Amino acid sequence: MPVYRAPLDDYRFVLNELLELDKQRDLPGFEDLTPDLVEDILTNAGKFCEEVLHPINQSGDEEGAHFENGVVRTPKGFKEAYKAYSEAGWGALMAPAEYGGSGMPTTITMAVAEMAMAANQSFAMYPGLTGAAYGALLATGEPWMKEQIAKRMISGEWCGTMCLTEPGCGTDLRLMKTKAVEQPDGTYKLSGTKIFISGGDHDLTDNIIHMVIAKIPDADGHIHDDLSTVNFFMVPKFLVGEDGKMGARNGVTTGGIEKKMGIKAQATCVLNFDEAKAWRLGPKPTPAKPGEKRSASAGMAGMFGMMNGARLGVGIQGIAIGEIAYQNGYQYVHERRVGHALTGPKEPDKPADLEIVHPDVKRLLLHAKSFVEGARALAMWTTINMAVARSKRPEAEQAGLLADLMTPVLKAFCTDQGFEAANNAMQVYGGHGYIRDNGVEQFVRDGRINQVYEGANGVQAMDLVGRKLGRKGGAAPFALFGQINGWLEENGKDAALEPFTKATKRSLDTLQTATLWLAQNGLANPNNAGAGASDYLRMMGITMLAWMWARMAKVAQAKLATNPPNAAFYKNKLTAAKYWMERMVPECPMLLERIQAGAETVMEFE
């Protein structure tokens, strides 16, 4: 049976000692965020994830979601767990207080989300997607929608989805065929097929609110292969009146659930919309004038707002899968005996030493630990920047740019590394990891989807290189490089920190060189940017975690100087920090060489 323990000690370290959360009380949503409140939320969320969600993770995977006679049912225990989750208020944690939520900032809600995703990714996706959906509704919906629908999603009475992908249209939304035809009363009749819809249908709630993108035909009834008429719509499974009363079944039916590699307890559905009643969210599109270039519709903003939140959430899932995989690998190597230590038996009276004595086993686990804890710090640092961006601080604009820059990095780098951590954990089990009984192979299967959905990781890399770097004249990377260089200058004379500052500087210098090369050569030949984008994103991920580890090493060294009772915790921090500097930062020069190779050879391939 797999194990899971909420990483509360590490969250206390990141939030209280590294980011000093109590000093952020001037930020929106942080005003009442006392240390006691944070401790209460994290402790109770951790307990819920350990005792309610984790015990049905493996059984839910084995049973899977069911589709019979057009009806979708979740595995045994999921309905009861969802009811308990909603009654405890976990789904309402981030919602505004005026709509029945707790108004907690993203820093707290993402911490809780990580624990839920680690304990049971399939389950956590149901309320997670509901949060993205009600967030979009609160941002773009009519007042009656916020009052009568969003509130019921926040309470957990109803769930929500994101309906984007179609059989012939994934990332390239220009190819989308789903259409929405306006009716005299201002609503729309929406028709088309959406696939891969997580939580698309289930038995957890009586109603499901679908957030759908579709094209509005022009005056002649034509759908254009561009983004000019793509709009955002609310389509309930059961109709809802402006008075909040639930009516007849809408024109939405489930065509089936996908037979997937992982997250089998998550009902990933094919949804068929047949003139379903839909409400447009956001402003009505303005037809292009004769000769005018057609541009993306205003309705796309709501969809991208929802998508960016989902991408951050998926990055958190990468951290989560790395955490639970690491925990199980760590436990196993302290139980399994195999061979003797290379320097001689550690336990001569035993037939073999514990597996943990072997250097390569330590390497596999330390790689996972250094990623998970470094990425957790980066994610929390990013959520602080998101809050600063909404504040009145003078650095608000810069913080917003930094958070925007980190979104594709967190989504892609964290899911790549999370999957690698799951593979590493499976490796330390040997053949026992490949069989289902021990549960670690589920983490590999579940974690693989995180690299694919909400924009595959190659798409995230192109977003970083093609959009984020050059926005506002390169303001975001300049701001980032300035912050890291400033910290290095401030701490450069600390001899104890030299192993960390020196390696971080090496990584940063390489990243700056790569940024300049892409700016020069990517513009001259866009294929150069495309061929080097994934390597560049990985380099930025390595650099950002190097900086996070350097900062954590400083905190750990200061704490160890006080002889704390939990000194082992801080010593392990320094070990993980050194690992990242010694084993990951050296990748950066290699990645730079690959980027500078350009696109010629890649593009020769037919």
Catalytic residue numbers, as ranges: 454
Cα–Cα distance list, 50 to 45, 47, 81, 540 (Å): 9, 5, 12, 33
SS3 295: coil
Distance from C-alpha of 262 to C-alpha of 441, rounded to nearest angstrom: 10
Q: What angle do CA 362, 368, 374 make, to 5 degrees?
A: 125
User: Which two structure tokens, joined as six digits, stand for 347?
Assistant: 């336990």
Residues 6+ apart with CB under 8 A from 377: 14, 18, 19, 545, 548, 549, 551, 552
Q: DSSP character for 135? A: H
**H helices present in 74-211, as ranges:** 78-87, 106-119, 121-140, 143-145, 151-154
Distance from C-alpha of 151 to C-alpha of 128, rounded to nearest angstrom: 15
Distance from C-alpha of 253 to C-alpha of 249, rounded to nearest angstrom: 9
**What element of type H or E holds 36?**
helix 35-48
DSSP string covering 213-248, please?
EEEPP-TTS---SSSTTEEEEEEESEEE-TT--EEE
Distance from C-alpha of 322 to C-alpha of 588, rounded to nearest angstrom: 22
What residues does 210 pair with on adjacent strands? 161, 235
Distance from C-alpha of 291 to C-alpha of 178, rounded to nearest angstrom: 26
User: Which two structure tokens, joined as six digits, stand for 480?
Assistant: 């980032």
Distance from C-alpha of 92 to C-alpha of 44, rounded to nearest angstrom: 15
Reduced DSSP (H G I as helix, E B as strand, rest coil) percent helix, strand, coil of the chain, to 5:
60, 10, 30
DSSP string covering 336-358, please?
-B-S--TTS-SSTTSSS-BGGGS
The answer to whether 442 and 61 are in contact (CB under 8 A) is: yes
